[in-house]
Structure formats: C-alpha cells, structure tokens
Amino acid sequence: MRRGPPSLLLSAAFGLLLAWRLPERPVAAEEHKEISALAARIEGLSDRSRLIFDLTGLPPVAAHPVANPPRIIVDLPETLFRMEANAGLSTSDKLIKSYRYGTFAPGRSRVVIDLAGPAKILKADSEVAVGGPRLVIELAPTSAAHFAATVAEQARPQPFDPPSPTPQAAQSPTDKPMVVIDPGHGGVDMGATGKNGELEKDVVIEFARALRHKIEDAGRARVLLTRDRDTFLPLAERVRIARENNASLFISIHADTLAATAVEGATVYTVSERASDAVAARMAEKENLADQAAGLESKAEAEEVGDILFELTRRETRAYSRQFSHSLISFWKEVGALNKNPSRSAGFVVLKAFDVPSVLLELGYLSSDKDLVRLTSQEWRERAAQKTADAIDAYFSAHSREARAPAGSLRPQ
Ligand SMILES: [Zn+2]
C-alpha cells in the first residue's frame, strides 16, 4: 500500500478519534514494563479512606465507579503484583470492604475495590512520595443518588481485548478429538478462597495442567487450555475458544466455598434451563457473576434462537454432556471424593455452547477441611486428574464415530 501524507493524516485523525473515544484507556504496557506493586495498605481517615500501593514506577491510572454491587475499578498498564494474592480479601475499613488485583487482559491490570457503601473518587493517581512511587486511591462517602449519577455519567462500552493470539491448537494431521479444558476465573477474578488464603483460580489451573498431561499421555485426544496463565478471561471468551477450536468436549474446572463447612466432595454440572436443585441454582448464579468480579458490565445474554437443525444439535449436545458427566462421576468414585449428590444441572453461561458437549467439574469445596487437604495435595491431584483423563478416554472410545465428526460439523457458518 502506498504510504503518503494523506494516509498519515488519516491515521493521525483516527488516532485522535480513538484517544477521544477511550480517554480512560491505559497506555501500552511496553512503556511501563518494569512496574511492580510491592505492598498495599489502607489509611482510614475520619472523612475518607485511602488505598495505597507501593510501586516501582509511575503508571497512568484511570478509575471509575460501577454499581450492583458498588465498586471502584482502577485500570493500570500491566503491573506485577509482588504481594500476597489474598492481601485485600477483607479489611477493617468502613468504606473499603475488600479489594482484589491482577491481570485483566494482555498489557492491562486492574484493581477492583468492593465498597461498603456509595463513594466518590477524590483521587486516583500515581505519585512520588517520600518512600518512593505509589498509587493512591482516595475515596469518600457520598449519597446513593450522587453515586448512581456518576455511574450513569461514566457508563461507557467496555471493550474487552481478547488475548492475542487466541489460544489455537497446533494443527495436527490426525483426526484426534479436541478437549478444551477451562480453568475457571483468573487474574483479577480470584474465584472462591480458602481459610488459609488458598485461591480457586490457582487450584483449578494446577488441576487443569495436570489433566492436560494425563490426556496427552493417553494420546487419544488433543488438548487446549483456555488460559495457561493467571489472567482474567470473560465467560463468553471461554465458550468462543471451545467453538473456534472445534472442541469435542469442554470441561470447565472450579472449586467452591460454602458456609456449611461439612459439605464436601466433587460435583459434575451440566447445563439446563431449570436448575436441578437450589444448590445448583445458587452455584450457577455465583459462577455467572465471574465477569462482574473483574468489573465487566454483566449484560443479559441474548438467548440463542435457532432453527430445527440448531435445536437438534443442541439436544444432541446436551445428551452427550450428560453421558460424559455420568462417565466422569463413575470414574471419580474411585478417587473417593464425590459430593453426596454429584450430578446436578443449572444455567451456567460457560456451558452454553450449543454444539460442544460441556460439563463443569467442581473439584470440591475450599471451605471443607477434608477437601482442602485433597485440593492442595499434588498426589491427590495426580490421581484425580488421571481418573478424569480415563473418563475422557472412555467417553471417546464409546463415541469414536462422533469424535471423528464432532457435533461442530453441523454448525451453521
Ligand atoms: Zn468458580
């Protein structure tokens, strides 16, 4: 393409337009590669609260409020948080209930502050203090009406940049079926937490990696992880990765917490319009909020509507999902750590690909002492991952014909 002044002018104008459209967008991470956060603390003053992070540099900062529940979102270029991941899980401050931090998208990090009540942002910036550079977020209580007005004023589309490159399976000359494993949560969305600071996002990625090795060792299927690092991924993106890679099976891995600490064991969930029971309904509701935990606006999912072929495919997909779920439960019995009602269903957003058989494997409860021992034991993880891989193997043996022609072949394009 010929490059001349007109196109330069055009791109400059386009750049200006972008800058105007996205004024809060942090600058590219390359310019701030070295910034780490070393420690965080809260200063509660009589009329305001300050959340302070000690930094190694001065990044650009953008903050905005979101409602339901009230939170403050602070966007930064990618920052290395070299501190306890559970540092902000609960505080004694009267305004800042808790805070979380982590990667949000490639090159971008985020701090999410959960508020005890409506607050206004007095300051959100990096600055040089006596002790070195720091990030200061200063908040003061405000009226519910003022908070709502600020949220409405600042409401803007929040573009999510998908990870680049999108995980793509290496091209394989074989016709082996593809299994997509989805470690839940990640980055700024930590998921459930255990009493010693164990994080669901870490427990599930370790399990997913162990499972990948077991599947690769068995050699019957190809395998891809939706995320192989500690980063946030929207629910819809996880489904998209499965569909784009023509997955024959999608397994989302989670671990929950409950107030009832005696409840233990693994559960396998499939998708259904109506929840199988109250526990499943509550679980789906909680997991479907994952995008919100990272500060993405949750928008009502448009229910997919389709023709007869779509409906047939969806019905067939759900039958396969249930078959795999039964197989998985029978193999897990040998690991001896099943919930007393291990087969449940509810409206999980992440299981809604109409043409990819999908289950959500809840490994256990971080709130149960017995489960916590299992979930953090490498020996247990290896055994449980092996049983899961065996269940996958058995499923594909039983459906070798379907595996060669995944349901995705019916997909309208
Ligand atoms: Zn989860």
Are the C-beta atoms of 118 and 140 separated by less than 8 Å? no
Distance 349 CA to ligand 1 centre (A): 12
Distance 199 CA to ligand 1 centre (A): 10
Give pLDDT, residue 31. Answer: 47
Task: Quick: pLDDT tens for 286-337.
Answer: 999 888 888 876 555 555 666 777 888 888 999 999 999 999 999 999 887 8
Give pLDDT, residue 294. Answer: 82
Give pLDDT, residue 408. Answer: 45
d(CA 235, CA 237): 5
Domain with CATH 2.60.40.3500 in the chain: 25-154
Looking at domain 25-154, its CATH class is mainly beta
Distance 52 CA to ligand 1 centre (A): 29
Residue with tokens 């600020």: 150
- Judged by DSSP in three states, 41 sits in strand
Distance 139 CA to ligand 1 centre (A): 30
Distance 350 CA to ligand 1 centre (A): 11
* Residues of the chain where predicted confidence (pLDDT) is lower than 50: 1-32, 162, 401-413
Distance 59 CA to ligand 1 centre (A): 31
Distance 192 CA to ligand 1 centre (A): 6
Distance 31 CA to ligand 1 centre (A): 34
Distance 266 CA to ligand 1 centre (A): 13
CA distances 133 to 30, 59, 76, 201, Å, are: 19, 9, 14, 30
Distance 255 CA to ligand 1 centre (A): 6
Are the C-beta atoms of 376 and 370 separated by less than 8 Å? no
CA distances 111 to 62, 75, 117, 274, Å, are: 10, 7, 18, 35
Which of 336, 346, 180, 185 minimizes the C-alpha distance to 255?
Answer: 185
Give pLDDT, residue 335. Answer: 84
Q: Sign (positive/negative) of CA torsion 334, 335, 340, 345? A: negative
d(CA 318, CA 355): 9
User: Within a 10 A sphere around the Cβ of 330, how many other Cβ atoms?
Assistant: 14
* Domain 178-296+305-410, CATH among 3.30.450.90, 3.40.630.40, 3.50.50.60, 1.20.140.70: 3.40.630.40
Give pLDDT, residue 167. Answer: 65
Residue 14 has, within 13 A of its CA and on its CB side, a CA count of 6
CA distances 387 to 37, 223, 300, 339, Å, are: 40, 16, 36, 16
Distance 186 CA to ligand 1 centre (A): 10
Q: Sign (positive/negative) of CA torsion 372, 374, 379, 382? A: negative
Domain with CATH 3.40.630.40 in the chain: 178-296+305-410
Give pLDDT, residue 119. Answer: 95
d(CA 183, CA 252): 6
φ, ψ of residue 343 in degrees (nearest 5): -115, 110
Count helices and strands (H / E) in the chain: 10, 15
Give pLDDT, residue 409. Answer: 43
Distance 241 CA to ligand 1 centre (A): 18
Distance 185 CA to ligand 1 centre (A): 6
Distance 200 CA to ligand 1 centre (A): 7
